[in-house]
Amino acid sequence: KINRISDETNPIEKLIVNINNSLECLLREIRYITGEPLKSKIPSKFRELIPLLNNERTLRLNVERLRSISMKYNYLIEHMNSEERFLFEPKLNKIDQVINLGLNEITWKSLNLSDYIEQSYGLINLDAAKALDIVQNNLLSIKQIAFNWSIIQADIFIYNQLFTFKQALEKHKNVQSMFNEKLIIDGHRIHALVDNIAKVVAVSSASPSWLNYLDYLNSLILNGIKATSLITLKNML
């Protein structure tokens, strides 16, 4: 079974697997007390744990897989910004349904525990976590592309260098042509990255969450263009 925990320093609730050293110690004691040569009787609430002892390897495997799932879930929740959280809302809603099962219904004795683990692992580790990784890497690439515009020579203003009017026009034409070509190439790269994001998050292109995320991306791109313009204006001084 899994539990949610939170603390005063971090309001985000985390998932933990509710098996610890005390429980493992209790299971060992039950095995010792109920086995040869003692074969002692124990209260019913402890007898219910005996089936777990009959397949300890499976229990440990389930514990480790649930811990892996919990770690991925906690990473998702902690490392999503508000735009990503809105974008991933359909996936998160499905995940929350599964998590609630683990919080309220699934126990170590549940017959469908293995199926529950497989479903959780698929939704969290294989789907949402990998999708977030792709989204964040693509976002980083888009930010880098936009930033690089501000470090290329997009004007003809060079300190202590004078041009005739004709030379200035010709140089401006060449610089502008090169910069426009760069923007076109980078624009295609950005579109490819955005298309890949849309593919992995699997949301409708008309959904509010996707439109909101596009606005977020557009603001990053505009910031890159703004930075380039400001540097050009500075070079004019």
- pLDDT attached to residue 15: 86
Phi/psi zone of residue 39: left (φ > 0), alpha (ψ -120 to 50 degrees), beta? Answer: left
Enumerate the H helices of the chain as residue ranges. 21-34, 44-47, 50-54, 56-79, 82-87, 89-104, 113-120, 129-148, 165-201, 208-236
Average pLDDT over residues 27-38: 70
73-90: per-residue pLDDT in tens?
Answer: 999 999 999 999 999 999
Residues of the chain with pLDDT > 90: what percent? Answer: 41
Grade residue 40 by pLDDT with cuts at 50, 70 and 90: confident
Highest mean pLDDT of the ranges 16-25, 29-38, 137-146: 137-146
What does the DSSP 8-state code read for residue 112?
Answer: T
190-235: per-residue pLDDT in tens?
Answer: 999 999 999 999 988 899 999 999 999 999 988 877 776 666 555 5
Grade residue 91 by pLDDT with cuts at 50, 70 and 90: very high
